[in-house]
A and B are shown apart, each in its own frame.
Chain A
Amino acid sequence: MLTLTLILIPLIAGILLFLLKGSNANTTKNVALVASLAEFVVALYAFLSFNPENTALFEVKYAWMKDLNINFHLGMDGISLLMTTLTAFLIPLIILSTFKFSYKNHAAFYALILLTEVALVGVFTAKDIFSFYFFFEATLVPVYFIAALWGGANASKITFKMFVYTIFGSLFMLVAIVYLFMKGGTADISSLTQTSEILGGSVQRYLFWAFFIAFAIKMPVLPFHTWQPDAYTESPTVATMLLSGLLSKMGVYGLIRILLPLAPIGVTNYSFVGMVLAIIGLIYGSIIAIQQNNIKKLVAYSSFAHIGLMAAGVLSGTVSGLQGALVQMVAHGINVVGLFFIVKVIYDRTNTRDLSALGGITQRTPALSIYFIVIMLGSVALPLTNGFVGEFLLLKGVYDKNAWLGAIAGLTIIFGAVYMLRMVQRSMFGETNETTAKFKDVKGSEVAVLLPISIVVIVLGVFPNVILKLTEPAVNTILQSLLK
């Protein structure tokens, strides 16, 4: 029942907002914020009352298409709960991040954010592969409209590229799903694992690539990433936060939830190729990030690099790789939203994203500097911040699978430190100049975004066990199918 509540709160609020289109901007903002906070409270309750032994409480199952034996089936294990909580935590912050600004058609704007949340919760809790596909695709529609309608001058072209690209990837997945469904006669993900076991290696080869390409485009991983930097840069910050903080995690989640259990032989045979792609992407993204002067692009490429490491960790098929990916998904989701928000704060005050035009902001902004540095440290994986545990486990997972790959992937720590420190140093320190001379410190709703993020960066860095304990049983279940 709790899962259904998590779907319904944003859904009802979203529909309500569409109906409230005549009301003034403050009302819609507050309605959206209250709804997303209510969602967070419910998610937090689920998080605290969760018992890995008894997940039946979270199950929701309705017949959806009776003759095909497809159900609207949601449920939560540790992994689902973790991702749902992350979603519920980030959406209120994303809504808060817009409080200082006014948007045309504000009711539709906030409604679309909440509808994205509905679809995201659906993806992270689906237990039926058709429900999963349905929500997976459904996330794209609201985000596309947010990005296209409230984006910059080139938004129409770039977001369309993103839409076509990702839909195209999902269609590969649709082929695989229809095929599996036809062979197995069921859409239940856990029953389908047996189907694919019977189908054997020759079919799983195709299943692996179909699913891998779909998720690789969504994350994105190297040859499929060309839509990402532009989409992240040209979209309004809200869409960028949604894409980088949450939608990219759907790809990693899909690898864990769908690819590993449904194509275990394929993973054993081909995961190495995927890992190599992911790690080349990681190095490539880091090198571009180092040379980037546009801070929004810099964060976009850093996100690309981080996602590559997560993909490699999951594909390694080891406990530490998976656990690391889960911790890192949460950490990266939180950090990247924080970073994009800071980029927006800087742009809002100086009207530039160019590193060479910035500098010396610290002198006038003690609060922003502290937040920025904390989040930056989380992002470069300093011990005692949230990024450390995840990155460490991921590298261990990759190393266990292949020492050489592990060694190359390890460069990410150095590269990450280089581009992040460079960004902070060039923008925040040094001499003040004309553009930054009148920089005002963050306050009000901006603090309300940055403070929770900074607290979580440190809390999760000190107590990573909160996550590790939660997900361990689920990770073990998933890896069992791989070990057979």
Chain B
Amino acid sequence: MYPIIILSITGLVTLFLGFLKSKKILLPATLFFILVALLSNFYDWNSPGLYFYEMSEITNLSTIFSAIILVSAFLIIALTRGFLDDSSAQPAEYFALMQFSLVGAIMMTNFQNLIMLFIGVEILSVAMYVLTGSDKSNLRGNEAALKYFLMGAFATGIMLFGMAMFYGASYSFDIKDVDSLLAQYPSRPVYLYIGVTFLLIGLLFKVSAAPFHFWTPDVYEGAPTIFTTFMSTIVKTAGFAAIYRVISVSFNQMHTFWAIMLVIMIVLSLLISNITAVYQTSFKRVLAYSSISHAGYMLLAVLGLSAKSDSSIAFYSFAYSLATISAFGVLMIVSKEKLVNGRPDESISVLNGLGKRNPFLAAVLAIAMLSLAGIPLTAGFMGKFYVFNDVASRGYVWLMIVAILMSAVGIYYYFKPIIAAYMKEGEGDRINVPQFYKIILGITTAGSILLGLLPDLVRGLL
């Protein structure tokens, strides 16, 4: 609860900080605000309760999700040093928008009332639409922002429609009411089913699960890399927190209905993303398809809903976020070294010879890719193991086999950057990385390995 209040206030404060002559204070101030929010987040630890007139419910799971969101936000915003200053005349707005979007993301983790979910999704999305188009001189960025906005607005509309249906069925926006309603009345109105479907479609759009993924590659590619990172980690974690919450709290009893829907989406997400990613030459697009495929893996945990899924899905989001931040962080630094038509080169070939040009970045990249591919010793493997275990326990052994085969395909394209970095000759001089980035990327990489060795550090909390 406190992070919502704190970040709303500090967001406004940040806007006013923009009036100061020196823009240098913005970044440290924002980081400080997020750190305060992160600490205050744990104030509610082990004391679950309802807040804001029963609009929100804080649980340990929601606290963990907010913590993952805030930690990722901290790391990403720290990486903006040197990137945001170049491209934008008014950095204060961007820092403020990022804080507002975090408010939305955190609301999505702990809503009790669907209105709260809607507000959260909108706050997050509107901020993201603006940030996607923040590089005004980039045509593709503008295109991406418009695409994201049009499709996003449409998806939110569908979601809102679903909520209305939901209200019609249960006479309440409270997600716990529908659960008790379902227990009481065995016959269920058709519009409840429509409501569930539309609500889930709206949310699945946000996490870019197939077949609602068409915007992902273009938007990821067009947006400034820093906001792509934001999108692929924070929006995704918040989206999954919301999907998981709505399904586990209110629709648990309708498992047979939504399970079919999820199974289709999982299979589509895994097949489409992994097979398309093989043919990509742009590293950013590879990571976009990787984001779709990871949505598929995370849905496995939702499908295998059990007492253990809480920790599985939280762990997976964290593992995925850490690796993605590392990968995008490396791309941000390396792509600036080579310009194509005045824009940073974001193809895989820009990584050629990175092992010689900067061994540290190459190692960070390699570990991030191994983690995304799910090779043991990394957090990604543990995450995959948990979701496979969840889904197999629910009886979907065949689906687990599909997922495992697809992660074998994944190895192919995740290894392309590693091979480029270590085994291909690259042009260009040594890349100098400021100490500051080294620390941030060091943290994400160490986190990926540490969680791969001792997963109970995060799982044990739940």
Contact = CB atoms under 8 A, between A and B. Distances in A.
A148 interface: yes
A103 interface: no
Nearest to A105: B359
A182 B393 contact: yes
Contacts of A148: 419, 422-423
A176 to B, nearest CB: 11
B443 interface: no
Contacts of B385: 130, 174, 178
A133 interface: yes
Contacts of B370: 141
Interface stretch (A155-163, A352-360, A366-374): A155-163
B408 A178 contact: no
B229 interface: no
B453 to A, nearest CB: 9
A65 B456 contact: yes
Contacts of B388: 174, 178
Given A133-B376, A138-B377, A168-B408, A67 B423 contact: no
Interface in B435-462: 454-456, 459-460
B423 A156 contact: yes
B400 interface: yes
A137 B375 CA distance: 8
A179 B408 contact: no
Contacts of B311: 67
Interface in B403-423: 404-405, 407-408, 411-412, 415, 419, 422-423
Given A66-B456, A67-B459, A182-B393, A175 B376 contact: no
Contacts of B408: 164, 167-168, 171
A404 B229 CA distance: 63
Interface in B379-431: 381, 385, 388-389, 392-393, 397, 400-401, 404-405, 407-408, 411-412, 415, 419, 422-424
Interface string A134-177: 10011001000100110000011000100110011001001100
Contacts of A399: none
Nearest to A206: B397
Contact of A171 (B404, B415, B455): B404
A276 to B, nearest CB: 27
A178 B397 CA distance: 9
A179 B419 contact: no
Contact of A179 (B308, B376, B377, B397): B397
A67 B310 CA distance: 12
Classify the secondary structure of B's interface with A.
helix
Contact of A64 (B375, B381, B389, B456): B456
A174 B389 contact: no
Contact of A160 (B389, B407, B415, B424): B415
B375 A149 contact: no
Given A138-B376, A141-B377, A160-B419, A67 B411 contact: no
A179 B392 contact: yes
A68 B387 CA distance: 12
Nearest to B455: A65
A66 B454 CA distance: 11
Interface string B311-327: 10000000000000000
Contacts of A138: 376-377
Contact of A167 (B375, B377, B459): B375
Contacts of A182: 389, 392-393
Interface string A67-89: 11000000000000000000000
Contacts of A141: 370, 375-377
Given A160-B419, A164-B412, A171-B407, A67 B376 contact: no
Contacts of A175: 397, 400-401, 404
Interface string B288-326: 000000000000000000001001000000000000000
Chain B interface residue number, banded:
20 to 34
Nearest to B384: A174
Contact of A178 (B355, B389, B407, B411): B389
A253 interface: no
A178 B400 contact: yes
B389 A68 contact: yes
Interface string A107-139: 000000000000000000000001001100110
Contacts of B397: 175, 179
A40 interface: no
A181 interface: yes
Contacts of A163: 411, 415
A155 B423 contact: yes
B419 A156 contact: yes
Contacts of A64: 454-456
Contacts of B400: 175, 178
Contacts of B412: 164
A167 B405 CA distance: 11
A130 B382 CA distance: 11
A130 B375 CA distance: 14
Given A156-B419, A164-B411, A67 B308 contact: yes
B405 A171 contact: yes
A120 B213 CA distance: 42
Interface string A166-198: 011001001100110110000000000000000
A160 B412 CA distance: 9
A68 B375 CA distance: 20
Contacts of A155: 423
Contact of A65 (B359, B376, B393, B459): B459
Nearest to A185: B393
A357 to B, nearest CB: 30
Interface in A323-361: none
Which of A63, A138, A182 gathers the greatest number of chain B CB atoms within 10 Å? A182
Contacts of B422: 145, 148-149
Interface string A247-261: 000000000000000
Given A164-B412, A167-B408, A175-B401, A137 B392 contact: no
Nearest to A115: B377
B376 A68 contact: no
A63 B460 CA distance: 11
Interface in B194-251: none
A181 B389 contact: yes
B220 to A, nearest CB: 26
Nearest to A149: B422
A365 B307 CA distance: 70
B68 to A, nearest CB: 19
A137 B459 contact: no
Contacts of B455: 64-65
A277 to B, nearest CB: 22
A5 B376 CA distance: 22
A65 B312 CA distance: 12
Contacts of A65: 455-456, 459
A348 B405 CA distance: 42
A107 to B, nearest CB: 11
Nearest to B454: A64
Contacts of A137: 375-377, 381
Nearest to B394: A182
A163 B408 CA distance: 11
A406 to B, nearest CB: 37
Contacts of B308: 67-68
Contacts of A145: 422
Given A174-B404, A178-B385, A181-B389, 13 more contacts: A68-B389, A133-B376, A134-B376, A137-B375, A145-B422, A148-B419, A149-B422, A156-B423, A160-B415, A163-B415, A164-B415, A175-B400, A178-B389
11 contacts: A65-B455, A67-B308, A67-B460, A68-B308, A133-B376, A134-B376, A137-B377, A145-B422, A163-B415, A174-B388, A179-B397
Interface of B: 308, 311, 355, 359, 370, 375-377, 381, 385, 388-389, 392-393, 397, 400-401, 404-405, 407-408, 411-412, 415, 419, 422-424, 454-456, 459-460
Q: 6 closest pairs, A vs B, by CB?
A: A156-B423, A137-B376, A171-B404, A168-B408, A182-B393, A182-B392
